[in-house]
Amino acid sequence: MNGSTLPGTGDDESPDRVVLHVDQDCFYASCERLREPELRGEPVVVGMGYEAGETIGAVATASYEARAYGVDSAQPISQAVERLPPVERPDLGSAEDDRGHYRPVDMEFYQSVASEVKEILHDCAETVREVSIDEAYLDVTDRTSWERVDAPARASGAAEQRTLAEGFARHVRERIAREVGVPASVGVAPNMATAKIASDHDKPDGLTVVPPGTVAEFLAPLPVEEIHGVGPVRAGELRDMGIETAGDLAAADPGHLQDRFGDRGVELHERARGNDDREVTPTGLPKSLSRESSFSEATDDAEAMREKVRALAAAVAERARSKDALYRTIGIKAVTTPYDVNTRAESLSGPVDDPDLVAETALSLLTEFEDEPVRKLGVRVSNLSFTAGEQASLDGFDAVADGSGADADDPTVEREDAPAAEERSGQFSLGEFE
């Protein structure tokens, strides 16, 4: 995608970096609501250990509605679920039979949703650092700028100016909501540490922009534990020194902080002042590229499905070509009602760059689902190669259907270094504990 066509794109080079921190709000609960829309607005707890026969378990995430009942992440699951109001379940006989909206962790499904979000992030930025399944930094300095422009007039007619960076960040957040269906909070700042704080500032579904020259002012009144890198123990130690806020930390003697905490103390002092020179470094080359699109409502119109797959296949092949990527596997995703995610793929004998083959293979895989109501379709190329090499000739093409419906590499894993190994193995990660 050409960055100059996106909302909030500027042509002038800016000396200040534009960093976005994108954080999916209560991600596991949001995924469950995607699958079960009736859960929207209801207290939802996602965890493990509440099933029959289980004696130990913990909350992986709790929706904001559940938090109002005193449910917190990492809380014992039995205690958490008992705090929720009973849910009437006529199919179970009485309200007392089902306590609250508890759902067990379904990591495969969450990774599938996360992969859709990450495709958008990598489409919106050349440099993306994935931190966890639900969190990433983007350096979009080459896509937008801190230039101020007139915003569209409101009903009152009052004049207003916004930065181009805000428009770009709003575009990213709205793409995630529109194309994937889960909420995200976005922080925009000149550096990583401040962008992280900004994304937490207005949850859920928030957007906080901290332009250059305003960072120290934004940080000053915040509790000291909101400075990136200050945990509960360190916050207690700082309060023992009379340091309650980020402003206090910024005004503290860096020599005293170094005596107490070593180089870490100086680093935190700099962050409290709004200084963070770390670069957003990518977490590795992509392992797959994909495009997905939803229907306005579930459909079994075979021609409509084929038309959408043709368009998605063309877009994926063009994106692979723009990145000088060859691919060894071509696959599709079909989301059927209510929200069942199905993947099918065929593996090639060698890496190719062949848009017609992508379309042909995707359409062949689609035939399995043409009699089912489909909500969303996607086309993916994977097992990518970015180094110069010989392409497999079409004469030597020997596609092997993957009867399991999965790529040789897990199709939910988008990057070399993320999600972490424990997430790939099906365990929920600490990154989701909020």
The CATH superfamily of 288-413 is DNA polymerase, Y-family, little finger domain (3.30.1490.100)
Give the amino acid at 431.
G
Mean pLDDT value across residues 147-173:
80
pLDDT of amino acid 319: 85
Tell the burial category of 168 from Cβ atoms under 10 Å away from its Cβ (0-12, 13-18, 19+): buried
Check residues 423 and 287 and name the one with the higher pLDDT.
Answer: 287
The CATH superfamily of 217-272 is 5' to 3' exonuclease, C-terminal subdomain (1.10.150.20)
| Ranges 143-157, 226-240, 374-388, 392-406: which has the least confidence | 392-406
Distance CA 245, CA 225 (A): 8
Beta pairing class for 400-401 and 340-352 = antiparallel
Check residues 396 and 307 and name the one with the higher pLDDT.
Answer: 307
**Count of Cβ atoms closer than 10 Å to residue 92 Cβ:** 11
Confidence check: pLDDT of 431 > 60:
no
Contact 271, 366 (CB under 8 A): no
Confidence check: pLDDT of 57 > 60:
yes
* CATH class in words for 3-26+109-215: alpha beta
Tell the burial category of 258 from Cβ atoms under 10 Å away from its Cβ (0-12, 13-18, 19+): middle
Confidence check: pLDDT of 204 > 50:
yes
- Catalytic annotation on 135? yes
pLDDT tier, 386 (very low <50, low <70, confident <90, very high otherwise): confident
Confidence check: pLDDT of 364 > 90:
yes
Confidence check: pLDDT of 282 > 70:
yes
Distance CA 98, CA 88 (A): 7
For residue 206 the two structure tokens come to 């928030």
Contact 209, 293 (CB under 8 A): no
pLDDT of amino acid 317: 92
Confidence check: pLDDT of 114 > 80:
yes
Architecture of domain 36-104: 3-Layer(aba) Sandwich (3.40)
Beta pairing class for 135-139 and 19-24 = antiparallel
Write out pLDDT tens, residues 303-356.
999 999 999 999 899 888 888 889 999 999 998 888 788 899 999 988 999 999
Mean pLDDT value across residues 287-295:
84
pLDDT of amino acid 335: 87
pLDDT of amino acid 192: 94
Confidence check: pLDDT of 173 > 70:
yes
Average pLDDT over the chain reads: 80
pLDDT of amino acid 284: 67
For residue 287 the two structure tokens come to 């392992």
Contact 194, 210 (CB under 8 A): yes
Domain boundaries, the chain: 3-26+109-215, 36-104, 217-272, 288-413
Percentage of residues in the chain having pLDDT higher than 70: 78
Mean pLDDT value across residues 100-107:
87
Most confident of 190-194, 277-281, 285-289, 397-401: 190-194
Confidence check: pLDDT of 160 > 50:
yes
Confidence check: pLDDT of 15 > 70:
no
What is the distance of C-alpha 105 from the center of its chain?
Answer: 17
Most confident of 77-86, 104-113, 153-162: 104-113
Contact 407, 345 (CB under 8 A): yes
The one catalytic residue among 135, 166, 292, 434: 135
Check residues 417 and 128 and name the one with the higher pLDDT.
Answer: 128
Half-sphere exposure of 396 (CA within 13 A, CB side): 9
Domains 3-26+109-215 and 217-272 share a fold: no
Mean pLDDT value across residues 30-52:
87
Distance CA 355, CA 357 (A): 5
Confidence check: pLDDT of 243 > 90:
yes
pLDDT tier, 153 (very low <50, low <70, confident <90, very high otherwise): low
Residues facing residue 161 across a β-bridge: 150
Confidence check: pLDDT of 223 > 90:
yes
Distance CA 434, CA 431 (A): 8
For residue 79 the two structure tokens come to 């205690």
Mean pLDDT value across residues 268-283:
89
Confidence check: pLDDT of 197 > 70:
yes
pLDDT tier, 98 (very low <50, low <70, confident <90, very high otherwise): low
